[in-house]
Amino acid sequence: MSRLIVKGLPSVYSEAKLRSVFEKYGQLTDCSLKYTKEGKFRRFAFVGYADEASAMQARNGLNNTFINASKIQVEECKPFGDEAKPRAWSKYAKDSSAYKRAHPDEENKTERSKTKIGTPVKKSKYQDDEKFKEFLLAQNMKPQLRDEGNSDEPNEKELLSELLEGITGDTSLSLILKDLPASIKQKSLKEWLSPIRVKGIKIARSAKEALAFVTFTQRSDVKKALQRNDQFIGGSKVRIIRVPGSEEASADATEAEHADNLYEDRQAENITITNAILETGRLFIRNLPYSCTEDDLRFLLKRFGEISDLQMIINKKTGACKGFAIVTYVFPENAVAAFSALDGTIFKRGMVEGECSFFDSVISVCFLLFFSQFIFSKAVILKGRMLHVLAGDEKRESKPEKIEGAKSAFQKEKAAKLKASAGKAHSWNALFLGANAVADTLAAKLNVEKSQLLSGEGETSAGVRLALAETRLVRETRDFLVTAGVCLDAFSRPAAKRSNTVIIVKNLPAGVELEELQRMFERHGPIKRALMPPQGISAIIEMANVVDARKAFAALAYSRFRAQPLYLEWAPFDLFKQGIVFFL
């Protein structure tokens, strides 16, 4: 767990001070102090780290230590719904014993709020309730509804008419309280509403319940009284409503209707987004942490299905993530699953948990406006950060490139297919040497004409001479790469993980200089390092970032270089040995 909860903080404390205490143990992704609605500090906070090791180190180092004169407790955050989650302890949490002690009225719940099975109930209340009838049928019972037509007791409508009789004028500062105890007094009701100021009370009673018409002095008191709805008085759950026919009641009805319409609009929007994802299989993910890597995001997303493409946009100057990425799934239904599952969760190197806040909201809004023609919307959390998963449009098809050296339509089509499949792993030797390049290199080394090497004169044939020369060149290339810190064992694992910045360049003509090759790749971005054996023929280029590496690979793969195609291949992930850096 990379997220911690800190309890027992001093009553006067700031986020900056808390950060200074916890950032000693690692990179913080979130630090938030919690307050009540009135702005009172609740003396606890949440702290998020970029990795689990830093969080555990902070917990072990700071738990049961003192900040000022307060002893703090540092614990792991538990996911919502976790059975091991500790019981609430704060007086502000409704399921805590401290809250129940502070609200004794809510402890007086009786069986009156529960309808006993087998007891006749009011017909007017349940006669149209289909779910209640289904419940009784499921219990193999017949509905026992008491017909109020033969009862002398007034029903709720009659009691309400009696309560409103003689009331005229403006009722905007008045409310009706229902389901009150039949024996309630005005004094008890005023005490229950205290400290809200009451101007007047009128009560209508029956043998079973009572209704009250309460008038307040100002609108703010009315709003406070409405917040008491569904609270208990004397074991009865009180319902508080506006006076029927008042402007406020009409406004409440309009607001409720608006909320229903908003819910329907959101449902329709979700259907639209899901359909868009099913068509494209693409997701746009934004609000990523700057410390997030492509491996982190791939680890999170690959559990929903096979990923065909993942592009994380990075800052070329710093190499850090800019905060957004685009992912394409092989099967669109996997993209829908990822879109639904990742909404409102926390990512911890493949683990989902907890809550967190947005970061850098200004940049996020700018990206949303910039990509408005590309995305829809939806809100997740990566390394303690809330990220947004959005549905993307179909990938725009690039214009067909002009293939140099291709004359016929067949040649152009073949070249296009080769470029399209260039990013796939190849099975041929990574130290592949072209026969023509081997002959040119050997001829230059022996200072003879190339035709003399290929002639049949002499004790050995031309094929034998070329094979011996190729073997020697391969050996010299291997020795050079080992000296430069390249792990040759990585080439013997064709199914190994591939790097996204290191490119193997093969089938080079003889006599190619490293500077010439560097200039060709630097058109697409800065180069971190470049290796080329003295004999040339093959090279290893490491680009400074993933974006430039992909751009260079796509542009140069199977392109014409000195009248022959350039073969490119992504190098194995662990190509370079740790601790050895060789620059040219």
Query: Comparing 29 with 516, which gets the higher pLDDT?
Result: 516
Position 140 pLDDT exceeds 90 = no
C-alpha closest to that of 387 among 469, 476, 327, 455? 327
DSSP string, 157-188: HHHHHHHHTT--S--TTEEEEEEEETT--HHH
Position 457 pLDDT exceeds 80 = no
Helix (H) or strand (E) holding 335: helix 332-341
**pLDDT tens-place string over residues 419-430:** 665 555 554 555
Among the residue ranges 162-166, 182-186, 212-216, 330-334, the one predicted with the least confidence is: 162-166
Q: What is the spatial distance between Cα 293 and Cα 23, in angstroms, rounded to a whole number?
A: 21
Query: Comparing 17 with 399, which gets the higher pLDDT?
Result: 17
Predicted confidence at residue 274, as pLDDT, reads 85
**pLDDT tens-place string over residues 493-516:** 766 778 888 999 988 887 888 899
- Residue 326 and residue 285 in contact, taking contact as beta carbons nearer than 8 Å: yes
Helix (H) or strand (E) holding 248: helix 247-280
Q: What is the spatial distance between Cα 419 and Cα 567, in angstroms, rounded to a whole number?
A: 10
For the record, the structure tokens of 582 come out as 């060789």
Position 224 pLDDT exceeds 80 = yes
Which position has the token pair 């004397």?
234
Average pLDDT, the chain: 75
Query: Which residues neighbour 8 within 8 Å (Cβ) at sequence distance 6 or greater?
Result: 43, 44, 70, 71, 72, 73
pLDDT band at 377 (very low <50, low <70, confident <90, very high): very low
Q: What's the CA dihedral at 100, 105, 106, 107 to 10 degrees?
A: 70
Q: What is the spatial distance between Cα 312 and Cα 303, in angstroms, rounded to a whole number?
A: 18
Residue 3 neighbours by CB distance under 10 Å: 25
Domains and CATH numbers, the chain: 3-102 (3.30.70.330), 106-244 (3.30.70.330), 262-391 (3.30.70.330), 409-572 (3.30.70.330)
C-alpha closest to that of 353 among 122, 127, 46? 46
Helix (H) or strand (E) holding 67: strand 66-67
Q: What is the spatial distance between Cα 549 and Cα 526, in angstroms, rounded to a whole number?
A: 9
Query: Comparing 247 with 234, which gets the higher pLDDT?
Result: 234
- Biggest alpha carbon distance in the chain? 129
**pLDDT tens-place string over residues 271-309:** 888 888 888 899 988 878 778 888 888 888 998 999 988
130 phi, psi to nearest 5 deg: -70, -35
Beta strand ranges found along 94-173 (DSSP E): 121-122, 145-146
- Chain-centre distance of CA 13, in angstroms? 30
C-alpha closest to that of 175 among 222, 219, 210, 218? 222
Query: Which residues neighbour 486 within 8 Å (Cβ) at sequence distance 6 or greater?
Result: 531, 540, 575, 576, 577
Helix (H) or strand (E) holding 450: helix 450-454
Q: What is the spatial distance between Cα 59 and Cα 229, in angstroms, rounded to a whole number?
A: 42
Q: What is the spatial distance between Cα 431 and Cα 575, in angstroms, rounded to a whole number?
A: 13
Predicted confidence at residue 401, as pLDDT, reads 54
Beta strand ranges found along 127-277 (DSSP E): 145-146, 174-181, 198-205, 209-216, 232-233, 236-237, 239-242
Residue 53 neighbours by CB distance under 10 Å: 12
Predicted confidence at residue 353, as pLDDT, reads 34
**pLDDT tens-place string over residues 80-130:** 545 556 666 666 666 666 666 666 666 555 444 444 444 455 545 556 667
Q: What is the spatial distance between Cα 303 and Cα 281, in angstroms, rounded to a whole number?
A: 15
For the record, the structure tokens of 506 come out as 């093969």
Among the residue ranges 52-61, 199-208, 349-358, the one predicted with the least confidence is: 349-358
Position 378 pLDDT exceeds 80 = no
Query: Comparing 425 with 483, which gets the higher pLDDT?
Result: 483
